[in-house]
Amino acid sequence: MSHLPEIRESDLGVISQRRVMLPVLLFVATCASTFWVGVTRWDPLQAQYSRDWPAAWQVVSTNWPIGLAYMGAVLAILLTHEMGHFLQTVKYGISASYPLCIPVPFNPIGTMGAVIGMDGSRADRRQIFDIGIAGPLAGLAVAFPVLWQGIKALDLSRPASPGEIEFHLPLVAQWMLRWAHPQAAWAGEQWVGLSDLNPYFMAGWVGMLITGLNMLPISQLDGGHTMYALFLDRAHSFARLFISFAILYVVINLDEAVLWTPMLLLVIFLGIHHPPTTDDSIPLGPLRWAVGLASLAIPVLCFPLLGVRQ
């Protein structure tokens, strides 16, 4: 989630048009990009698609149900996540954009998630907590059953092909895999091969990835909002400690962690500390504290540390 500049009353007509048009265009583009990676079975850069339009049309006409199922499932997760944030901003009267989807047709998941722009400088401690935590909880309410359906549908009766692209599993997916396929040859493994993917598994995996990333306790991420609301200035120490361990992990495991290096650099560039709210003295209350502390486990459970490897 990012911040919007303060909106003047005289600007509302122009900005409202832009705020509707851009989200709609990005949503349509993300529908197209996620549909495309689904019909290519999450391998959109196969050489024949770029050189042979009849081949590309053939794969679309054959695999369109897969593409449609993946598009619908992954966008349901992303939009539910962002609407969790958006509805809280409406509740508290804080200026925010509609959800902005990010299409990426040339990576295996077809998107880099979604964001909303928010005038967070008007939120107090309790409001920033509610806005930050609502998105991940709403998104997970959809992502968990989608992932479970996908894991149940996996065919793990055969070994992976040599050199196959590996989608590594977060802890919660590993537990689901063991529960759903206790006798399968791959039960207990930490990854699923490209050839075994189905649209619901892949959408759920993307939901886990994006939620785990968003709940990292730094900067303007959802986890950064939550951590600051809980611990105020002490959250800065957690953020610095996390970044230090992240840098150390990337340096030691450069080959395995190369996927996360650009994101780490981006977070450092944007700043790792959370700004103060309009009123840091407002108490959260026991329920928010319980939910907030429990939410700190989300990155551990949902983030696939090794991501995609080959």
pLDDT tens, position by position, 180-229? 888 765 555 688 887 788 999 999 999 999 999 899 888 888 999 999 99
CB 188 within 8 A of CB 222: no
pLDDT at 222: 92
Span of 52-56, 94-98, 276-280, 298-302 with lowest mean pLDDT: 52-56
Q: Which domain holds residue 117?
A: 2-309
Residue 79 token pair: 């939009």
Domain count, the chain: 1
pLDDT at 11: 37
Q: What is the pLDDT of residues 275-302, one digit of tens each?
A: 889 999 999 999 999 999 999 999 999 9
Which residues lie closer than 8 Å to 286 by C-beta, 6 or more apart? none
Q: Regarding predicted confidence, which is higher, 116 or 268?
A: 116
Predicted TM-score of the model (pTM)? 0.86
∠ CA 111-164-308 to the nearest 5 degrees?
A: 35
User: Tokens 């944030």 label which residue?
Assistant: 85
Q: What is the Cβ-side half-sphere exposure of residue 7, based on CA atoms within 13 angstroms?
A: 21
Distance CA 96, CA 117 (A): 5
Please determine, for residue 6, whether its predicted confidence score (pLDDT) is greater than 50. Answer: no
Distance CA 43, CA 128 (A): 38
Q: Mapped to the 3 state alphabet, what secondary structure does the chain carry?
A: CEECCCCCHHHHHHHHHHHHHHHHHHHHHHHHHHHHHHHCCCCCCCHHHHHCHHHHHHHHHHHHHHHHHHHHHHHHHHHHHHHHHHHHHHHHCCCECCCEEEECCCCCCCEEEEECEECHHHCCHHHHHHHHHHHHHHHHHHHHHHHHHHHHCCCCCCCCCCCCCEEECCHHHHHHHHHHCCCCCCCCCCEEEHHHCCHHHHHHHHHHHHHHHHCCCCCCCHHHHHHHHHHCCHHHHHHHHHHHHHHHHHHHCHHHHHHHHHHHHHHHHHCCCCCCCCCCCCCCCHHHHHHHHHHCCHHHHHCCCCCEEC
Distance CA 55, CA 67 (A): 16
Average pLDDT, the chain: 84
Distance CA 173, CA 171 (A): 5
